[in-house]
Amino acid sequence: MKKLAIHFSANPNPTDTLVIALYQNELDDPILTQFKVQNLVAPLIAQGDFSGKLAETRTVYSDTPQRVVLVGLGERDKLTVKKALSAQAAVIKALENTGAQHISDASVLHYPASCDQAWSVLQHTQSWQRSFYDYNHPSRGEHSPKQSAITEISYPMDATDKLTQAAQQGQASALGMALTQDLGNLPSNICTPGYLADTATQLAQDYGFKTTILERDDMIAMGMGSFMAVAQGTVTPPKMICLEYWGADSQDAPITLVGKGVTFDTGGISLKPGAAMDEMKYDMCGAATVLGVLKSLGELKPKINVVGVIPATENMPAGNAIKPGDVVTSLSGQTIEILNTDAEGRLILCDALTYAQQTYQPKCVIDMATLTGACIIALGHHVSAVLGNDQTLVDELKAASDYSYDRFWQLPLGEEWDEQLKSNFADMANIGGREGGTITAAQFLARYTKNVAWAHLDIAGTAWQSGANKGASGRPVPALVQFLLSKQA
């Protein structure tokens, strides 16, 4: 995906396109005079061809600039974050398949009362950069790649450090999201655990990261009985992928991100229903998120230490696959009775969480996983669930998600749900029944994170969308980038 050139200039001289946002019932905005397009736009307004309704767009052509794009924001006192982003999306759609190359985006000057100018710059930059995304792997066959003539965005204001950093963050987040989307959208016969490992190796080469890849024999020898139980039914080699970014003092403990990397989930012996099973290629979107976040950090180079840990495997039914009733021993030494082989994500994550703590002694651990269908029932496809054992960490993640509008909603943990994991034959069962499924899954992971600040993100409802627009979303890369930047030394 090409990278936009982004500039700030208090005295803009747009080459070909000017974007102006107007509020409904406030169509005599001085901004029209400021940009010397009052006479051009006035007839459009007078004739009722533009009213400023939310996400309404009209394009007027002239000599200089060649085109002026008007976008409506609706009523000023009703402008929300969602509405502001909808208006920006409408502008991008209006400029698709046009010859616009160099855009002066004056619509960035308007934003909700709860936000600030830096937020607007971040969101606009992220939107412009994301507009280039197109899944264009050769496996797609005949496909006309998205063509956009846009090469440069100029914001009509003086550059400050805060605004420049906001633009850089927006662009880097979009680039990280694109990698996350590409990995999620690839078919599982291409995006295998080995492919994820190769992607991590390439990121390490591109950005100077350190990478470590553990193979099946390594993990068996270490005692990762839970992870290896899931992997034993597949002939595709599993991997434990570790990617390290050290941007601060090496003595400063890293933040560790752990991402579920089930590159295809059949459910194992507890086979899933056939309908929409193809979407189980998205069960590695937690892993893809970790790689996307690391790409964003490579672009931004913040002063922080971050380690990504990715347990990657397929979950397949086979003659040697794990069975309901089997008992396995995790890396932590705790035993697990496997009542459902389709609750495999927590089985690979628990060993990854233990390994991350033993190897990196992190200051905190955040795992992310397309873990439970129950999360979709609880929260739909709009927000991800966050649960954890450290309220400060959870609050910081929620604040980052609210700012980025890549939102999280906290669900509880507690002894009541933990009791649902009781087993007569092991330290715990891997499922706790239908009730509170998202919580009991997190409660399982909590047994492996008692000695570290930990948060769990269930992204089952937000990592991809189904239907006509089926595809990976790139979430929650923006929220995690925002969180990590807020933790810089």
The answer as to whether 306 is a domain residue is yes
Strands 453-458 and 364-369: parallel
| Single-letter residue type at 353 | L
The answer as to whether 319 is a domain residue is yes
**The domain boundary residue, chosen from 132, 159, 186:** 159
pLDDT one digit per residue (tens) for the chain, 489 residues? 899 999 998 876 667 999 999 999 899 899 999 999 999 899 999 999 999 999 999 999 988 889 999 999 999 999 999 999 999 999 999 999 899 999 999 999 999 999 999 999 999 999 999 999 999 888 887 777 778 899 999 999 999 999 999 999 999 999 999 999 999 999 999 999 999 999 999 999 999 999 999 999 999 999 999 999 999 999 999 999 999 999 999 999 999 999 999 999 999 999 999 999 999 999 999 999 999 999 999 999 999 999 999 999 999 999 999 999 999 999 999 999 999 999 999 999 999 999 999 999 999 999 999 999 999 999 999 999 999 999 999 999 999 999 999 999 999 999 999 999 999 999 999 999 999 999 999 999 999 999 999 999 999 999 999 998 899 999 999 999 999 999 997
Instruction: Give me the DSSP letters along 322-364.
Output: --TT-EEE-TTS-EEE-S-TT--HHHHHHHHHHHHHHHH--SE
Same domain, yes or no: 139 and 184: no
Question: What CATH number does the domain containing 47 carry?
Answer: 3.40.220.10
Same domain, yes or no: 123 and 212: no
Same domain, yes or no: 148 and 201: no
Binding residues: 260, 265, 283, 342, 344
Same domain, yes or no: 137 and 181: no
Which residue in 146, 272, 363, 487 is the catalytic one?
272
**The domain boundary residue, chosen from 111, 135, 159:** 159
Same domain, yes or no: 150 and 206: no
Domain extent for 34: 5-159
Same domain, yes or no: 120 and 222: no
The answer as to whether 437 is a domain residue is yes
Which distant-in-sequence residues (6+ apart) come within 8 Å of 369 by Cβ? 259, 260, 286, 345, 349, 456, 457, 458, 459, 460
Binding residues for Mn(2+): 260, 265, 283, 342, 344
Same domain, yes or no: 381 and 426: yes
The answer to whether 50 and 57 have CB atoms below 8 angstroms apart is: no
Same domain, yes or no: 92 and 206: no
Question: What CATH number does the domain containing 217 carry?
Answer: 3.40.630.10
Burial (CB < 10 A; 0-12, 13-18, 19+), residue 134, is middle
**The domain boundary residue, chosen from 159, 184, 202:** 159
Same domain, yes or no: 98 and 225: no
Which residue in 130, 216, 346, 447 is the catalytic one?
346
The answer as to whether 481 is a domain residue is yes
CA 428 – CA 431 distance, rounded (Å) = 9
Q: Is-catalytic flag, 58?
A: no
Two structure tokens written together for 433? 């029944």
The answer as to whether 409 is a domain residue is yes
CA 316 – CA 338 distance, rounded (Å) = 15
**CA–CA–CA angle 390, 483, 301 (5° rounding):** 135
The answer as to whether 165 is a domain residue is no
Number of domains in the chain: 2
Same domain, yes or no: 153 and 185: no
Same domain, yes or no: 14 and 76: yes
The answer as to whether 251 is a domain residue is yes
Same domain, yes or no: 55 and 10: yes
The answer as to whether 284 is a domain residue is yes
pTM for the model stands at 0.97
Q: Is-catalytic flag, 434?
A: no
